[in-house]
């Protein structure tokens, strides 16, 4: 199994070299950056190579000045182009402000959490994601519509085919007015559901589909704790002191309990 790691995004806050160094502390394989043409990468050390793309910015999809929609589209484009230019069979994509100090690759296709139901399955094998900003559908902390189909965007890992599929859903993202302020993570997963599973999904009213929110998560994702399991930390100021066990977050043990109940694991 050949692996690749893609760091996606720019470096406006100056965290990128720290991210590269954190990965290089345990990984000597293909490590590439997917960023924008205006990004000077000549002083960065430790990359195998860099892919510089046209920054979509407000871009062709953005008639509405909603920063969540713009940011989501940029994330998917950077990730998709990085995956496309990588050579790995299994690919880890990490944000350019998020360190990772140990390997998560052994969580890929974990036989203890590999079962799925065909009727809710989008990917051939589950994508591994972190719990930070993965919202527990059962939480009472968030507004009801914010609890549905929101999975973290700090890192994603999966097969090449499935990662291209997930990051390639940008053409189905909601791109108009955003009165409910759907989050980047919701718009992203909602677009994938709409493109590959439920074409009539209403991205502005995801709470209508709350009854199958757990089914989508359990059949398509493996959730692990960012801090304790993945050793993954976002360096943005707003996240430095964010508790990993926030009452809204889907913790690894809660995911595993739900999985075991659904698939009747002894």
pLDDT of res. 134: 95
- Measured in whole angstroms, the distance separating CA 184 from the mean position of its chain's CA atoms is 10
The tens digit of pLDDT for each residue in 136-165 reads 999 887 666 677 889 999 999 999 999 999
User: Residue 190 pLDDT > 60, yes or no?
Assistant: yes
The tens digit of pLDDT for each residue in 216-264 reads 999 999 999 999 999 999 998 888 888 888 889 999 999 999 999 998 7
63 or 209: which leads in pLDDT = 209
Q: How far is Cα 48 from Cα 184, in angstroms, rounded to an integer?
A: 29
pLDDT of res. 244: 84
The parent domain of residue 240 ranges over: 3-262
Average pLDDT over residues 40-54: 94
pLDDT of res. 64: 45
Q: What is the mean pLDDT of the chain?
A: 89
Residues 6+ apart with CB under 8 A from 86: 4, 6, 30, 32, 160
pLDDT of res. 67: 66
pLDDT of res. 237: 81
pLDDT of res. 215: 94
**Confidence band of 119 (pLDDT split at 50, 70, 90):** confident
How many domains is the chain partitioned into structurally?
Answer: 1
Q: How far is Cα 33 from Cα 189, in angstroms, rounded to an integer?
A: 23
Rank 24-28, 55-59, 169-173, 234-238 by mean pLDDT and report only the highest.
24-28
Residue among 248, 227, 211, 195 at smallest CA distance from 203: 195
The domain spanning residue 97 has which CATH number? 3.90.550
68 or 226: which leads in pLDDT = 226
Picking from 33-47, 55-69, 134-148, which range would have the lowest pLDDT averaged per residue? Answer: 55-69
pLDDT of res. 156: 98
Dihedral sign from CA coordinates of 57, 171, 186, 265: negative
**Taking the complete model, does pTM exceed 0.75, yes or no?**
yes
**Confidence band of 61 (pLDDT split at 50, 70, 90):** very low
Q: Which pairs count as long-range contacts for 22-25, CB under 8 Å and 24+ apart, including other chains? A: 22/99, 22/100, 22/101, 23/94, 23/99, 23/100, 25/101
Residue among 102, 137, 121 at smallest CA distance from 225: 102
């Amino acid at each position: 199994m050949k692996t690749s790691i893609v760091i996606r995004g720019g470096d406006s806050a100056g965290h990128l070299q720290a991210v590269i160094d954190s990965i290089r502390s345990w990984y000597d394989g293909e490590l590439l950056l997917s960023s924008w043409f205006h990004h000077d990468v000549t002083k960065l050390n430790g990359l195998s190579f860099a892919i510089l793309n046209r920054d979509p910015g407000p871009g062709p999809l953005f008639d509405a000045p909603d920063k969540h929609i713009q940011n989501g589209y940029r994330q998917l484009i950077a990730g998709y182009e990085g995956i496309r230019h990588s050579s790995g069979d299994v690919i880890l994509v990490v944000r350019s402000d998020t360190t990772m100090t140990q390997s998560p690759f052994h969580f890929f296709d974990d036989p203890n959490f590999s079962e799925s139901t065909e009727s809710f399955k989008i990917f051939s094998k589950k994508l591994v994601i972190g719990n930070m900003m993965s919202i527990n559908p059962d939480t009472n902390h968030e507004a009801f519509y914010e609890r549905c189909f929101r999975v973290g965007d700090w890192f994603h890992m999966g097969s090449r085919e499935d990662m291209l599929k997930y990051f390639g859903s940008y053409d189905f993202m909601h791109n108009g007015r955003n009165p409910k302020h759907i989050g980047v993570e919701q718009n992203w997963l909602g677009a994938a559901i709409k493109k590959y599973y439920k074409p009539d999904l209403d991205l502005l009213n995801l709470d209508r589909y709350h009854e199958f929110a757990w089914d989508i998560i359990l059949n398509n994702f493996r959730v692990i704790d960012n801090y304790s399991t993945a050793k993954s930390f976002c360096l943005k100021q707003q996240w430095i002191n964010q508790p990993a066990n926030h009452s809204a977050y889907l913790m690894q043990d809660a995911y595993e309990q739900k999985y075991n109940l659904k698939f009747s694991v002894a």
